[in-house]
Structure 1
Amino acid sequence: MSWTATDRYRLRTAPSGLALVQDFLNTKAIKAHGLDLLSDADLARPWVTEALAEWSRARDTEVPEITVGSGDLGALRDLRESFVSLVDDGDASAVKPIKADLVLRDGVVRLFPSGAGRQWLTSALWTETLLAQQAGIWQRLKLCRLDGCRSAFYDVSRNNSGVWHDVRTCGNVANLRASRERKKDSQLKEARAD
């Protein structure tokens, strides 16, 4: 499987339908890695097409055909910020109610997104959030703590303690900054003591 927005940052993909939420979060621009995929309809359309194809494979269902136009982009960027708030601190208070359907398929009741266009995508994202919370995997979806990165990653650490998408890159940068800051503070204290 290939999730366009997440793959461009070379991140481990979240399991099942939660990967759609992760990929949606990773549509934002991060220095030197690519453009904001929700900044322009010509960037958003291919992302939506590919993301829904991957989601359909993960959910073993037909690929929904939705259209996202220029008029939808502002609302999608706002929705992305709601998800950032939800992942960061558990708050998505600005979210409006969404609709989803219960579908009986092969003797199993499933929660399934509904609506058209942007509303369908919104429904799919919130549906996957609910399912991930119920499955106990939601808390493993995180945003890298390094300012300037903030990529959405799936934490596979045993105790769910990851804070950077990659310890060797973002972790080293953050630790180096903290070390320099401590050294600077120490030098300032010594200068004041003299």
Structure 2
Amino acid sequence: MSWMATERFEARTAPGGLALVQELVNTHGVTRFGADLLADLTTARHWLSGAAGQWAQAHGLEPPELSLPATDLDAVRELRTAVKGMLEIPPGERSTGPFDASGVVLPRAQAHLVADERGRVAILPAGTGASWLASAVWSEILLAQHDGSWSHLKLCRGPRCRTAFYDASRNGSAVWHNVRTCGNMANLRASRARRKGAGQGPGE
């Protein structure tokens, strides 16, 4: 079992359950890496089953029994779009601080708060299909915003890539999901542009 959407891009995986958020974004299709995993119901069901199992394993839980009816497919795609939009915001510009209930509040999902015999509290997703996924994804974003890992989840700078990756660099300066692919391609284009510019004389 693996994070199949993220691994095909050879991107650094986010820690723990935050990888589910990254995985959802990375179901998008990129020509040189793979097709859209939410393009049809069959591939979407296969992806959700694997992702839910991997999420459960990360938390030491039993894999949830999920179904994804055809009517849920658009909701999963809309969730992906919403999360990707959040990651489009540069880490330094993302809102921090306490939740502000004085503005517009968008209902996103429901979840269960549970406690073990030692009083440790956890959030468990509620529902099934798209509702389970939304519950798990928003719960993981909440936890990541509180522990600081949210700012490390980014989108690749490559305009035709935009793959989600986890920036584990010391100064948080990484911009490519994979330096060997998108990074090298960008550097090659920049080098060609510089050589072309250097070859033009004044007035050309």
Give me the TM-score of the superposition, normalised by structure 1. 0.88
Q: Which residue is equivalent to 1:29?
A: 29
1:90-169 aligned at under 5 Å gives the runs 90=94, 96-106=107-117, 107-169=119-181
Following the alignment from structure 2 to structure 1, what is the Cα–Cα distance between the partners of residues 39 and 145? 29
Q: Which residue is equivalent to 1:11?
A: 11
Higher relative contact order (CA closer than 8 Å, sequence separation 6+)? 2
Following the alignment from structure 1 to structure 2, what is the Cα–Cα distance between the partners of residues 96 and 179? 48
Following the alignment from structure 1 to structure 2, what is the Cα–Cα distance between the partners of residues 94 and 77? 21
CA contact (8 A) 1:82 1:95 kept: no
CA deviations on 1:106-135 (whole Å, 9 max, x unpaired) are: 321112211232111101000011111111
Secondary structure of the corresponding residue to residue 163 of structure 1 = coil
In structure 1, list runs of 5 or more residues that go unmatched: none
CA RMSD of aligned residues (A): 2.2
CA contact (8 A) 2:56 2:62 kept: yes
Following the alignment from structure 1 to structure 2, what is the Cα–Cα distance between the partners of residues 41 and 15? 28
Q: Which moved more, 1:63-72 or 1:45-54?
A: 63-72
In the TM superposition, residue 4 of structure 1 has moved relative to its aligned partner by 0.8
CA contact (8 A) 1:20 1:51 kept: yes
In structure 2, list runs of 5 or more residues that go unmatched: 96-103
CA contact (8 A) 2:163 2:177 kept: yes
In the TM superposition, residue 38 of structure 1 has moved relative to its aligned partner by 0.6
| Bigger fraction of residues in helix | 1
Q: Which moved more, 1:165-174 or 1:143-152?
A: 165-174
Secondary structure of the corresponding residue to residue 153 of structure 1 = strand
Following the alignment from structure 1 to structure 2, what is the Cα–Cα distance between the partners of residues 58 and 49? 14
CA deviations on 1:78-101 (whole Å, 9 max, x unpaired) are: 21111111011149x996432112
Secondary structure of the corresponding residue to residue 103 of structure 1 = strand
- Structure 2 CA distance for partners of 1:177 and 1:126, relative to 1, 3 Å: same
CA contact (8 A) 2:113 2:121 kept: yes
Following the alignment from structure 2 to structure 1, what is the Cα–Cα distance between the partners of residues 178 and 3? 18
Q: Which residue is equivalent to 2:88?
A: 88
Following the alignment from structure 1 to structure 2, what is the Cα–Cα distance between the partners of residues 117 and 94? 24
CA deviations on 1:118-169 (whole Å, 9 max, x unpaired) are: 1111010000111111111111111111122111111111111100012232
CA contact (8 A) 2:18 2:144 kept: yes
Following the alignment from structure 1 to structure 2, what is the Cα–Cα distance between the partners of residues 53 and 33? 23
- State the identity %: 48
CA contact (8 A) 2:108 2:138 kept: no
Following the alignment from structure 1 to structure 2, what is the Cα–Cα distance between the partners of residues 65 and 54? 13
CA contact (8 A) 1:39 1:73 kept: no
In the TM superposition, residue 177 of structure 1 has moved relative to its aligned partner by 2.5
Query: Quick one: which amino acid aligns to residue 84 of structure 1?
Result: K
CA contact (8 A) 2:10 2:178 kept: no
Give me the TM-score of the superposition, normalised by structure 2. 0.84
**In the alignment, structure 1 residue 176 sits paired with structure 2 residue 188:** yes
Q: Which moved more, 1:71-80 or 1:21-30?
A: 71-80
Query: Quick one: which amino acid aligns to residue 159 of structure 2?
Result: D
